[in-house]
């Protein structure tokens, strides 16, 4: 986080970031439900040394996303939408792992 605070002061969003972001934001997309976590895991496998290194890691990780990961991300989001509609917009997260 120190890297983010120093490189992107008051501009980054995430856990303990300076920008409040609701966990159940209506603006969430399929990227928020899986893909960002996937990319974060790839990008942060090793500690970045410079801003340029971080930017290159992010670019390479995005370019290397396997097609099946993208298809799975979209399918999972569609599944979440169906659960949400069946629950009339109510709580449905408890049904995701059943």
| Widest CA span in the chain | 47
Give the angle subtended at the CA of 63 by the CAs of 29 and 53, to the nearest 5°: 100
- CA gap 82, 69 in Å, rounded: 20
- Assign 92 to helix, strand or coil: coil
Q: Are the C-beta atoms of 42 and 61 separated by less than 8 Å?
A: yes
Enter the tokens of residue 21.
């972001």
Task: Return per-residue pLDDT of the chain as tens, 98 residues.
Answer: 788 888 888 877 777 777 766 565 555 666 777 788 889 999 999 988 899 999 999 999 999 999 998 898 888 888 888 888 888 877 777 777 75
pTM score: 0.54
């Amino acid at each position: 986080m120190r890297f983010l605070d120093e490189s992107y002061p008051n501009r980054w969003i995430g856990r303990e970031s300076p920008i409040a972001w609701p966990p159940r934001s209506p603006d969430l997309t399929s990227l928020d439900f899986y893909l960002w976590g996937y990319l974060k895991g790839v990008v942060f496998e090793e500690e970045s040394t410079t801003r340029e290194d971080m930017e290159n890691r992010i670019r390479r990780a995005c370019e290397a996303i396997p097609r099946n990961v993208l298809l799975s991300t979209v399918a999972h989001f569609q599944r979440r939408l169906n659960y949400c509609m069946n629950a009339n917009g109510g709580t449905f997260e408890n049904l995701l792992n059943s």
